[in-house]
A and B are shown apart, each in its own frame.
Chain A
């Protein structure tokens, strides 16, 4: 569908989804339409791996993309609900603020990077650096995640039903990581932590929100040892003067 000047503009408030065929409509037109909509639902056909689809949403619109997408799909999403029936390229839902982004396939690098809120669900696997620098988003991955996932993760939850690659949670701050399978290795300052009842309950809620069937009791939790939070300063002069004072 290509809204020509003489056609009535699509009415996204109607219950029927507006269909946009990217074989005919440009990304710019699609995103402009999505940014102008206050509500309603859209169905996007023929995405053909295009980049930056449905990025910058700022309203309760729902977008269903039929096919695989390129980089930065649903980037900086706020309130919107975006689903992809396919795979996603780098930076899926990067810096998401709120709302939900779900893909049925797998995502490559940096899925959910720097996300501040909302929920990202990847039914397949995620590549390296999933949840890098995450700042409050919840990410649930049905499969496995690649190396350096949750690098410098600041806040939020990363749930992995499969395995995690090398250096999980390197230099992590306060984010919580739950992994059901094997962790190839933990990164600097990341440690396994006790799964207390409140963590089991939180994980159960996340799995439920993501629509994933799994027993929270099967997961292990990882987080920060907080050993990198402050520089270690070995103040020898102060120690010596204290010793002198004491003697």
Chain B
């Protein structure tokens, strides 16, 4: 850089190059930008928290030798067959349709190898995922695509989806490129249409109705399996309280950075609250109702990437964390080996987010058989199992350092915040102080 005293090109902070590109794109097409992945802008995240570890007044556990439990049981109070997870990390709901059947199989294999659950999505249950998932959660969504009592009865849990972190208040989307014959048939839709699925359930409107709906679902499956309610993080205190009142065995709270297969960018980046802010509010509701770490379990999702994130979610009061984007990356999404192809699509490995397009070089978010054949479900499953193993080991490492013999014993007292925002949202003190803003 020469410094001749003249003005350099100066990018506007308000109208930066992406803002300008978006205005141009909008002017050219007349349609909002739709993409996959989750929020990409900077948000308060779990990195803004640190663990304190043991010290003079806290006694750590031996890193490799002392046992540190990781299991979670969901629905023991009401379901004849509660869900028993060996690790506190689950695979979030991602539809067949948004994902290839090979990807669904890989997710099932990886989760099963580690003794955890995987989840269907907005498109029904495929035989591949049922067969390869030892514990499969069946989503009950507003669209009811592919919903049927046979699959309901072969599920290990039912998840009533009220919302998703990427788009609280929004319905699903699957663009025409991905509505192939199989996908269209499973959803009873014409091939090739741009599918927009409902944002509201067709046969219940509020928490009182939901309570009756949950009873109906329990009756249909003869009270065999637990029922979860999934909400996008918007008003987690009230949403959690109402889900508990409606009779949920588990509440899934998905923060705004949660991934999606296809959503309007304006929704992804501007609706909902971050995971770090949502968990404490959900926990407050569970505590108020006397069900925290008891009758009703809390599953936190949205931007979980590492064992540190899992441990922080648990310390804030979740019973388990759920992953979407990270699981896709583990099985091969954004693989640098396909960088050339990502570049041909106008992106690059590590940046690609056009899950809606069906052109995924890694064969994951596509219905194109020539692409999806690239994903070996066995290898993909092994990668996911390895990754889940690392998340679990990391979570245990932190829990032991905090002196906990079970990961669910992690607590807010083990945490400090690095920013004032994180302290206010997570309701833990700013590091080095006893100050919790707003407390």
Does B203 sit at the interface, judged by CB under 8 A? yes
- In the complex, what residues of B have CB within 8 A of residue A234's CB? 28-31
Q: Once bound together, how far apart are the Cα atoms of A105 and B143, in whole Å?
A: 28
Let me know if B219 and A135 touch, CB within 8 A: no
Let me know if B216 and A72 touch, CB within 8 A: yes
Let me know if B149 and A56 touch, CB within 8 A: yes
> Least Cβ distance of A136 to chain B in Å?
6
* Chain A interface SS verdict (over half): loop
Q: Once bound together, how far apart are the Cα atoms of A75 and B152, in whole Å?
A: 13
Interface string of B170-194 (1 = CB under 8 A from A): 0000011000000000011110111
Task: Give the residue of B30, B144, B198, B215 whose beta carbon is less than 8 angstroms from that of A232.
Answer: B30
> Least Cβ distance of A28 to chain B in Å?
7
Does A219 sit at the interface, judged by CB under 8 A? no
Does B209 sit at the interface, judged by CB under 8 A? yes
Let me know if A231 and B203 touch, CB within 8 A: no
Cβ < 8 Å to A, chain B residues 18-57? 27-31
Q: Once bound together, how far apart are the Cα atoms of A110 and B202, in whole Å?
A: 7
Let me know if A135 and B144 touch, CB within 8 A: yes
B29, B30, B188 — which one has the most chain A CB atoms within 10 A of its CB? B188
Known: A27-B219, A72-B212. A233 touches B30 (CB 8 A): yes
Does A94 sit at the interface, judged by CB under 8 A? yes
Does B148 sit at the interface, judged by CB under 8 A? yes
The chain B residue with its CB closest to the CB of A76 is B149
Let me know if A152 and B198 touch, CB within 8 A: yes
Does B220 sit at the interface, judged by CB under 8 A? yes
Q: Once bound together, how far apart are the Cα atoms of A68 and B129, in whole Å?
A: 41
Let me know if B30 and A75 touch, CB within 8 A: no
Does A52 sit at the interface, judged by CB under 8 A? yes
Q: Once bound together, how far apart are the Cα atoms of A75 and B209, in whole Å?
A: 14
Query: How many residues on chain B are close to A (CB under 8 Å)?
Result: 35
Q: Once bound together, how far apart are the Cα atoms of A116 and B215, in whole Å?
A: 21
Task: Give the residue of B192, B204, B222 whose beta carbon is less than 8 angstroms from that of A90.
Answer: B204
Task: Give the residue of A55, A91, A116, A129 whose beta carbon is less than 8 angstroms from that of B148.
Answer: A116
Let me know if A230 and B215 touch, CB within 8 A: no
Does A15 sit at the interface, judged by CB under 8 A? no
Known: A51-B212, A56-B219, A154-B189. A233 touches B149 (CB 8 A): no
Let me know if B209 and A71 touch, CB within 8 A: yes
Q: Once bound together, how far apart are the Cα atoms of A232 and B193, in whole Å?
A: 12
- In the complex, what residues of A have CB within 8 A of residue B31's CB? 231-234
Let me know if A72 and B203 touch, CB within 8 A: yes
Does A237 sit at the interface, judged by CB under 8 A? yes
Task: Give the residue of A31, A94, A129, A229 whose beta carbon is less than 8 angstroms from that of B190.
Answer: A229
Cβ < 8 Å to B, chain A residues 82-141? 90-91, 94-95, 97, 109-110, 113-114, 116, 129, 132-133, 135-136
Does A8 sit at the interface, judged by CB under 8 A? no
Does B84 sit at the interface, judged by CB under 8 A? no
- In the complex, what residues of B have CB within 8 A of residue A154's CB? 187-189
The chain B residue with its CB closest to the CB of A116 is B148
Known: A51-B212, A136-B188. A32 touches B222 (CB 8 A): yes
> Least Cβ distance of B118 to chain A in Å?
23
B149, B194, B209, B221 — which one has the most chain A CB atoms within 10 A of its CB? B149
Let me know if A133 and B198 touch, CB within 8 A: yes
Q: Once bound together, how far apart are the Cα atoms of A232 and B223, in whole Å?
A: 46
Interface string of A50-90 (1 = CB under 8 A from B): 01100110100000000000111001101000000000001
Let me know if A113 and B193 touch, CB within 8 A: no
Q: Once bound together, how far apart are the Cα atoms of A78 and B152, in whole Å?
A: 13
Known: A56-B149, A58-B149, A174-B190. A233 touches B204 (CB 8 A): no
Q: Once bound together, how far apart are the Cα atoms of A129 and B203, in whole Å?
A: 9
**A positions within 8 Å CB-CB of B:** 27-28, 31-32, 35, 51-52, 55-56, 58, 70-72, 75-76, 78, 90-91, 94-95, 97, 109-110, 113-114, 116, 129, 132-133, 135-136, 151-152, 154-155, 173-174, 229-237
Question: Could you show 14 A-B contacts with beta carbons less than 8 Å apart?
Answer: A27-B219, A28-B219, A52-B219, A55-B216, A56-B221, A76-B149, A90-B212, A91-B204, A110-B203, A114-B144, A114-B202, A151-B202, A230-B176, A233-B29
Of all A-B residue pairs in the complex, the 9 with the closest CB atoms, nearest first, are: A56-B220, A91-B203, A110-B203, A114-B144, A52-B216, A76-B149, A234-B30, A229-B193, A72-B216
